Amino acid sequence: MGAAVEIIDVARRFGAVQALAGVDLVVEEGEFFGLLGPNGAGKTTLISIVAGLTRADRGTARVLGHDVVTDYRRARRLLGVVPQELVFDPFFTVRETLSIQAGYFGLRNNDAWIDEILHHLDLASKADANMRALSGGMKRRVLVGQALVHKPPVIVLDEPTAGVDVELRQSLWGFIRKLNRDGHTIILTTHYLEEAEALCNRIAMLKAGKVVALDTTQNLLSGFAGLTVRLTADALPDAWRERVLRHEGTSYLLSLTSYAELESLLSALREHGVAIAELALQEADLEQVFLRIMKRAA
Amino acid sequence: MSTKLSTEMSASLTMEPMRHRSGWQTLLYKELLRFWKVSFQTILAPVLTSLLYLLIFSQVLESHVSVFDGRVRYTAFLIPGLVMMSVLQNAFANSSSSLIQSKITGNLIFVLLPPLSPLDLFGAYVVGAMVRGISVGLGVFLVTLWFAPIAPAHPLWALAFALLGSMILGVMGLLAGIWADKFDQLAAFQNFLIMPLTFLSGVFYSIHTLPPFWQTLSHFNPFFYMIDGFRYGFFGLSDIEPGLSLAVIAVSCGALSALTLWVLKRGYKLRH
């Protein structure tokens, strides 16, 4: 297996903001790859550079070995992108939208494939409906269909489930998993970290335009073995403040290295006379790993 | 409606080789379909507007204005000017509005993601604009025949000016659509540049009726050459030599096209 996407020393600045500060990344063929990071980390800029929507100030990006600038025609034919924004052309029906998108890639008379996409995305009954008449979830599915209409081996999904209800989200992931099993490389950005944990074999985390973590999902989880405590209390002793991963009002999320540390925490709270309203222990999940990595990279 | 998606994928989703051709014809088809779907607004409305111009101006000025030393009736003189004005304004409106709408609604991404080259984008948007402009011009010509039945004396000249004129305005529309970030900026381009240049290009008068200063100034208006040359195609009469007019607009068209292709290649305001 070769590289589906190679990103070599890619940098991009927008005015005073360094959106990407020299990113190196290789996504292998057939991977289900997660690209995670807080808002403004540079995920969408990176995807836009790979898709040819944005130009890098320096560095190289390739799709299946084809440079996205010098060999853009081949690179773009090999890539399908589901954009983050819920955009559509209000002049056309669902079928026209898919047929026109296929035509942009030089594909004509491919009604059979469009029918198949409509069937898989449960849009067959809406094939002749105008895009304006669709619900948000249906429009999102049309976006997925548009990305698949030229059968690209590499598919990028930029926050595909933002604002999508739970049932559709599950169905969509079933569909995308199947695409991955059929050999398509999937690159996913999402804010739903439980989705990334369940779906992605490998994950890169970006912060302020840099890759701050890159490993298999399993290694990331085991590398940050430990516990978190979700605590609701009116205060927290100063000595424990550096363990805070997240703090909202009287609610704290703290990291512990082991169960033994829990007793130390409870002792400290008793010594300071802090009343505990609620306390819950959690095994490390990707959200905790993400928070720790982001905190470490701060 | 159920939102359960099928996961029974057929073999066709696997990555078999597919035959790819250029996508510019599809973009052109999309551009044509776009204005055809709203043809009341894009074709019939401008035809009606031009008809109203003809009714009002011919009624008021027919007996007061003499053109080409009285060899052509004013109403007949007016028709080619109105036809060309419609061609130019609608060619501009088509490419500019299509692009700005796609930019503002965000669906331009569907055109930017596929392997369409700068020349593909240029060709599709400009030819789409030309088809719209010439369709409206043809409509204006047909409805005005009832008022003054005229036929082109030199149809190839008329066609050459219609094609080049609509192309220039299609290119200008594309350039304006790329440059503008909001409808207001595009409206300013249309109302403060395109509209005055078309109205002051000799649509409603022969420049020989103007004072010398304004006659000289008219020669700096590229739209004047388009209208005057097109009118030559109908009457065999013009304010200046049609070959010169054709050369002026051909050079303008070439320069504007080169500029627009360069802008598209750089991705200015399209690929950030």
Nearest CB among A14, A48, A146 relative to B110 is that of: A146
Distance between A5 CA and the closest CA of chain B, angstroms: 16
Query: Least CA distance to A98: which residue of chain B?
Result: B110
The residue out of A190, A207, A222 marking a domain boundary is A222
Residues A35 and A175 in one domain: yes
Task: Indicate left, alpha or beta for A215 from its phi (over 0: left) and psi (-120 to 50: alpha).
Answer: beta
Which candidate in B30, B97, B102 is best for mutational testing of the A interface (most A CBs within 10 A)? B30
Q: B111 phi and psi, to 5 degrees?
A: -90, -30
Q: Number of structural domains, chain A?
A: 2
Residues of A in contact with B114 (CB under 8 A): 76, 101, 104-105, 150
Please tell me the predicted confidence (pLDDT) of residue B6. 53
Range of the domain at A287: 225-296
Q: What is the pLDDT of residue B15?
A: 44
- By C-alpha distance, the chain B residue nearest A135 is B1
**Chain-chain contact of A113 with B10 (C-beta, under 8 angstroms):** no
Q: How close, in Å, is residue B3 to chain A by CA atoms?
A: 5
List of chain B residues whose C-beta atoms are within 8 Å of the C-beta of residue A91: 33-34, 37-38
What are the beta bridge partners of residue A251? A232, A248
Q: Which residue has the higher pLDDT, A19 or B5?
A: A19
Q: Are residues A273 and A160 in the same domain?
A: no
Predicted ipTM beyond 0.95 = no
Both A286 and A151 in a single domain? no
Residue A121 CA to residue A142 CA, distance in Å, equals 8
pTM: predicted TM-score of the whole model, two decimal places: 0.85
Q: Which residue has the higher pLDDT, A161 or B137?
A: B137
Q: Does B9 touch chain A (CB under 8 A)?
A: yes
Chain A contact present for B18, CB below 8 A: yes
pLDDT in tens, B169-185: 999 999 999 999 999 99
Q: Note whether A27 and A140 are same-domain residues.
A: yes
Write the residue in A51, A54, A85 that is nearest to B113 by C-beta: A51
CATH of the domain at A65: 3.40.50.300
Where residue A275 sits, what CATH number does that domain have? 3.30.70
**Mean pLDDT throughout A112-132?**
92
Q: What is the overall mean pLDDT for chain B?
A: 89
- Give the CA distances from residue A86 to residues A45, A164, A165, A192, A246, in Å, rounded to whole numbers and listed in that order: 17, 11, 14, 18, 31
- With a pLDDT cut of 70, the percent of chain A lying above it is 98
Interface A–B counts its CB contacts (< 8 A) at 143
Q: Which residue of B has its CA nearest to A99?
A: B26
Residue with tokens 């925490």: A265
What's the CA gap between A191 and A39, in Å, rounded?
Answer: 9
Are both A162 and A247 inside the same structural domain? no
Same-domain check for residues A186 and A200: yes
Same domain for A13 and A71, yes or no, is yes
- Using CB atoms, which residue from A48, A76, A112 is nearest to B115? A76
The neighbour count for residue B17, using CB atoms within 10 Å, is: 6
Please write the tens of the pLDDT for every residue from B189-228: 999 999 899 888 888 888 888 888 888 888 899 999 999 9
Report in angstroms the alpha-carbon separations of A188 from A47, A51, A159, B160. 10, 14, 7, 52
- Answer yes or no: are the C-beta atoms of A56 and B75 closer than 8 Å: no
A187/A229 same-domain check: no
Q: Which of B108, B26, B116 is nearest to A76 (CA)?
A: B116
Q: Is residue A13 located within the same domain as residue A146?
A: yes
Same domain flag for A31 and A120 = yes
Within 8 A of A75 by CB-CB distance, chain B residues are 115
pLDDT digits (tens, 9 = 90+) for B218-232: 889 999 999 999 999
Regarding whether A247 and A192 lie in a shared domain, the answer is no
Q: Does the distance separating the beta carbons of A168 and B3 come in below 8 Å?
A: yes
Q: Kindly list the domain boundaries of chain B, sorted by start residue.
A: 40-266
Q: For residues B226 and B195, give the distance between their C-alpha atoms in angstroms, rounded to a whole number.
A: 14
Q: Provide the greatest CA pair distance for chain A.
A: 76
